[in-house]
Structure 1
Amino acid sequence: MPFILSEYHSPGLSVNWTANKVLFHKQSDFQEVAIVELEEMGRALVLDGYVQVTVEDEFVYNEMITHVPLFTHPKPEKVLIIGGGDGGSAREAAKHPSVTQVDLCEIDPMVIEACREHLPEMSVSYNHPKVNVITKDGVKFIKDHPNTYDVIIIDSSDPIGPAVDLFGKDFYSNVHKALKEDGIFACQSESLFYHQDLIKDVHEMLKGLFPIARLYTATTPTYPGFLWAYSMGSKKYDPFDRMDVKKPEIEARYYNHDIYKGCFALPTFIKETLGLKK
């Protein structure tokens, strides 16, 4: 029988989903993990009552969080993904010809268990020869791997529960240390409309660590406000200098070279929030 899954985001914002079926529901050592069948968006991963990814639009998020930083780097080989337990971002990273290793570090093995069983579209990456699935705390893992990765992607849930430490200055500093001398970092930074304080804080932290800090966007129906932000910190390569560089073709449903060139164009109100020139 259909039921309503309600997400509370703030006193002025709640999201109600009509769900038809619960496919998986357990309490892990870290969070409540569920896979549900949504009326509009199909199967979805739900953590602590909040929809994280759906089969209908996951390709937008997973392609944008991976292909933009990976195409900004001229030859990425070793990639680290922290979070991303559904496997979608690892699936996309493994498509790049130059990438030889994708380490997927997910703190909660139950997320991997649930997605392996019910979200094969994304968890197919678990079996890819380039992908190493690591069930450890990413905050601790990254401290032990200085000067190791060409690209690090933080594919986290909202800054609550086990993901809260993935939005702090100490963590970003350790990310910087784990990157090679020309490395690139990218993370999701929430909604352009509802989380401007967080977007500004992340941008300021990255400016303090990296010579190049950029913000880019994509539209994802699953997430509140639809227009979603991604933050990038780069030690050497500026995406603005890479706009006209020929890039290899990647099989994708959302991402293409025109999207790469356009996603860094920011609306005026966000430029004002970040203190950028209009």
Structure 2
Amino acid sequence: MKAIERRIADLWFTEYQTPNLRLGLRIEDVLLNKQSKYQHILVVDTKQYGRVLVLDGAIQLTEKDEFCYHEMMAHLVLCAHPEPKKVLVIGGGDGGVVREVLKHDIVESVTLVDIDEEVIRASKTFFPTVSCALDDERVKIMPMDALVFVKEHHDEFDIAIIDSTDPVDFASGLFEQSFFEDVHAALTESGMMVAQTESPFAEPELLRDAVLGLRHTFERAFLAWGSVPTYPTGLWTYAVGSKKFDPRIQRRSAPTGLKYYSDTMHSLAFELPPFVKEIVNGGNLKEAKGN
């Protein structure tokens, strides 16, 4: 009788990034798998990228590459603003952006608005190096709808960082011009905002519409880009709106010890590839998506 070969468990997480694109990661362990009031939360340990936080099937961060995203989201605007004392972070319950913001000693307060407290709890439990600044005395956590919050605050913040999830369900409003107008009103006379605006390959229409919305709302609006390996296509964009100062000009040096953002990276991030320029100026969206 032939001996049965040893079977090996082969467990994978697959993110369907677009209808025609998916990313697969080999799982070593499932650490959290639960449904919150707002979304499904999954935390897994993977061979390639360490621990991974997944919301509604979409990767939010991995231990190995989260710094690429969080450093760009925070330092692009904090290094462009001469006195970023009061900072608003919308979304980002994992705490990665807050961690980076507090690397600037000039910051006096950070208000974190995230609708889902379960995400904050999950990050504190499973991602201590990401959530490490959430208990800082300068941080105020507001577990509520950001669309409501910004309507109730005017002329209050120097910086607003929109660390939103994908534009679906409760987060869809965070990509609309009406929301940008409310953020504009919540900022001081020299305020700046930055929002993640997805991949020019995967979501060119969303990218174009977000930039157009900022151009109609803010006195100055520009797009920056960078690399985040586990986000769809690995090429990511950041739309920056400013009431007064040109965000392409770095006014304050980068904090020490960073791994992605740097003084040189600041200006280079605003140098867009020609195909991205074409997208934000209303060019060929089908070509950008490879259709």
Q: Which of 205, 209, 212 is 1:204 aligned to? A: 212
- Structure 1 stretches of 4+ with a deviation exceeding 6 A read none
Supply the RMSD in Å over aligned alpha carbons: 1.4
Q: Secondary structure at the match of 1:20?
A: strand
Runs of 5+ unmatched residues, structure 1:
none
Q: Secondary structure at the match of 1:82?
A: strand
**Which residue in 1 is equivalent to 2:257?**
251
Equivalent residues of 1:212, 1:233 under 8 A apart: yes
Larger radius of gyration: 2
Residue pair 1:57, 1:220 contacting (<8 A) in 2 also: yes
Q: Is the 8 A contact 1:94 1:131 kept in 2?
A: no
1:81-108 per-position Cα deviation (integer Å, ceiling 9, x unaligned):
0000100000000111211001111100
Q: CA deviation at 1:251?
A: 3.0
Distance in structure 2 (CA, Å) of the matches to 1:142 and 1:182: 17
Look up the match of 2:6. none
Secondary structure of residue in 1 paired with 2:223:
strand
1:123 deviates by 0.8
1:2, 1:113 → 2: CA distance? 29
Question: Is residue 131 of structure 1 aligned with residue 136 of structure 2?
Answer: no
Does residue 38 (structure 1) correspond to residue 51 (structure 2)? The answer is: no
Q: Residue 2 of structure 1: CA displacement?
A: 4.1
Which among 109, 115, 131 is matched to residue 107 of structure 1?
115
Work out whether residues 5 and 49 of structure 1, in 8 Å CA contact, stay in contact via their aligned partners in 2.
no
Deviation at 1:46, TM superposition (A): 0.6
1:25 corresponds in structure 2 to 33
Match of 2:224 in 1: 216
Q: Aligned equivalents of 1:75 and 1:212: distance in 2?
A: 18
SS at match of 1:190: coil
- The within-5 A match list for 1:227-242 is 227-240=235-248, 242=249
Normalised by the length of structure 2, the TM-score is 0.91
User: 1:87-102 maps to which residues of 2 (within 5 A)?
Assistant: 87-102=95-110
Kindly report which structure 2 residues correspond to 1:64-213, keeping only aligned pairs within 5 A, or say none: 64-213=72-221
Structure 1 match to 2:277: 271
User: What secondary structure, in the 3-state scheme, does the structure 1 residue paired with 2:37 have?
Assistant: coil
CA distance in 1, matches of 2:96, 2:127: 9
Residue 261 (1) aligns with residue 267 (2): yes
Unaligned runs of 5+ in 2: 1-8, 283-291
Secondary structure of residue in 1 paired with 2:84 = coil
Under a length normalisation based on structure 1, what TM-score does the superposition of the two structures give?
Answer: 0.95
* CA–CA distance in structure 1, aligned partners of residues 237 and 13 of structure 2: 25
Pairwise CA distance, 1:9:
2.8
Q: Say if 2:75 and 2:254, in contact at 8 Å, map to a contact too.
A: no
SS at match of 1:186: strand
Say if 2:194 and 2:241, in contact at 8 Å, map to a contact too: yes
Encode CA deviations 1:19-76: one digit per residue, 9 max, x unaligned.
1111111111000011111220010111011111001011110000000011111110
In 1, Cα distance between the equivalents of 2:14 and 2:263? 37
